Amino acid sequence: MDAKSVTPSAVALILANPTPESPDDVPEIVVQVLDLKPIGSRFTFMASDGEAKVKAILSTHFASEVHSGKLQNLGLVRILNYTCNDIPQKTDKMVIITKCEVVSQALDAEIKSEVKIEEPSVLMKPKEEAAGLSKPIGAAPATIMLKPRHDVKSASQIVSEQRGNAAPAARLAMTRRVHPLISLNPYQGNWVIKVRVTSKGNLRSYRNARGEGHVFNVELTDEDGTQIQATMFNEAAKKFYPVFELGKVYYISKGSLRIANKQFKTVQNDYEMTLNETAVVEEAEGESFIPPVQYNFVKIDMLGPYVGGRELVDIIGVVQSVSPTLSIRRKIDNESIPKRDIVVADDSNKTVTISLWNDLATTVGEELLDMVDSAPIIAVKSLKVSDFQGKLLAPFHKFFSG
């Protein structure tokens, strides 16, 4: 097979098999990259087989391939695994490419199947390759037409035959296809994600006009660095609170998605996840390439603009002092809440008082008190910054050790 050509009917192959079970379920698919452009930290392009095109988005970890110039516009890529983001209301599909490799750097022009056999090598030639390496697309003649479905099925039949020969454990591994978080949407519920718990909230109880209940939030991050907030209520909150541990990696399925309320978003995602009691949460064993908690540290002398704002900051610094635990009586309901203040200094030569509330005051606060003589360095995430009598205060929102 010639490495310098697109796969005839590649787009049809993808759309006929929108969510392959595993890379083994993906046939040879080489497409040309057209209209490559950045969207946030990712890149999108039109994947072309010379006849049909489909919108594609690359997982974030391919951004470096684009920046380094390896993956180029007009180049060829082999798609090794993907999932289609199929939103029923929308007619345009998007292929989220989770695994791919560069076959060729930029060709001279867009491949178009209408082009006749006589001249095709001009179109197929990578800029820096000798003409002899190119293969006329005409060599794959009538098959450039859209393939009928039964052709696609025969490919997956081959795969299932291969699976039949695999050991049971290997078969299971192949079946557990992990979906990138970015591919999840409210309209398609049959997914499995593999995510790290990068923030764990408290199990809280609340009472309001709609009633009362318990609620528990986590922030989840996948290997692309995509984050989503997941919320559990009542029985689900009680069930999963002891299951989710900060920093651990889990397979999650049978959750539901809804549009996130912009006003309360703590992560960059249009959706938020709700897990009820029927959700499946299972710790993932072994190695994982999911990045740990990401910080965006702000120097203490740069906190000014954040005072009173909604935007949260992360701080890293040396703990200079730890107060005793105080019991603060909340005015609105007279409830007493444990609180402890720590003073942190960083390399901007400023200090800030950080208040630890509730469990953080008693648990983390106590640990810090024990360590304070050794000037421990801590990283603190998601601080809300306020000002009291000219002193900057950063009450704890969440905590990660450092």
Burial environment of residue 2 by CB neighbours within 10 A (0 to 12, 13 to 18, 19 or more): middle
Site for DNA in 295-314 (CB under 7 A): none
The reply to whether 401 sits near DNA by the rule CB under 7 A is no
- Any bridge partners for residue 353, and if so which? 343, 393
Length of the chain: 402
Q: Is residue 262 near DNA by the rule CB under 7 A?
A: no
Q: Which stretch binds DNA (CB under 7 A): 141-149, 175-183, 280-288, 323-331?
A: 323-331
Regarding 337 and contact with DNA (CB under 7 A), the answer is yes
Q: Is 351 in the site for DNA (CB under 7 A)?
A: no
Report, in Å, the least distance between residue 120 CB and DNA. Answer: 55
Can residue 261 be called a binding residue for DNA (CB under 7 A)? yes
Cα angle at 15 between 12 and 21, to 5 degrees?
Answer: 125
Q: CB neighbours of 210 closer than 8 A, spacing ≥ 6?
A: none
- Choose between 15 and 328: whose C-beta lies nearer to DNA: 328
3-class secondary-structure state, position 46: strand
Task: Give the residue, chosen from 300, 355, 381, 392, that forms a contact with DNA under the rule CB under 7 A.
Answer: 355
CB of 233 to DNA, least distance (A): 4
- CB distance 85 to 56 below 8 Å: no
Q: Which one of residues 358, 367, 375, 377 is an interface residue with DNA (CB under 7 A)?
A: 358
Q: Does 264 bind DNA (CB under 7 A)?
A: yes
The answer to the question of residue 138 lying near DNA (CB under 7 A) is no
154 touching DNA, by CB under 7 A: no
Q: How far is the CB of 70 from DNA (least distance, A)?
A: 40
Distances (CA, A) of 109 to 177, 190, 318, 321: 35, 39, 57, 65
| Binding status of residue 34 toward DNA by CB under 7 A | no
Nearer to DNA, 134 or 217 (CB): 217
Tokens 């072309």 sit on residue: 48
Q: What one-character-per-residue DSSP string does 67-107 give?
A: HTTSS-TT-EEEEEEEEEE--TT-S--EEEEEEEEEEES-B
The answer to the question of residue 338 lying near DNA (CB under 7 A) is no
Nearer to DNA, 159 or 257 (CB): 257
Which one among 131, 139, 302, 326 touches DNA, defined by CB under 7 A? 326
Is residue 285 within 8 Å of residue 250, measured between CB atoms?
A: no
Q: Does 239 bind DNA (CB under 7 A)?
A: no
What is the distance between the alpha carbons of residues 15 and 9, in angstroms, rounded to a whole number? 10
Could you give the CA distance from residue 183 to residue 190 in angstroms, rounded to a whole number? 11
Residues that bind DNA (CB under 7 A): 201, 204, 206, 208, 210, 213, 215, 217, 231, 233-234, 258, 260-261, 264, 272, 274, 276, 326, 328-332, 337, 339, 355, 357-358, 384, 386, 388, 393, 395, 397
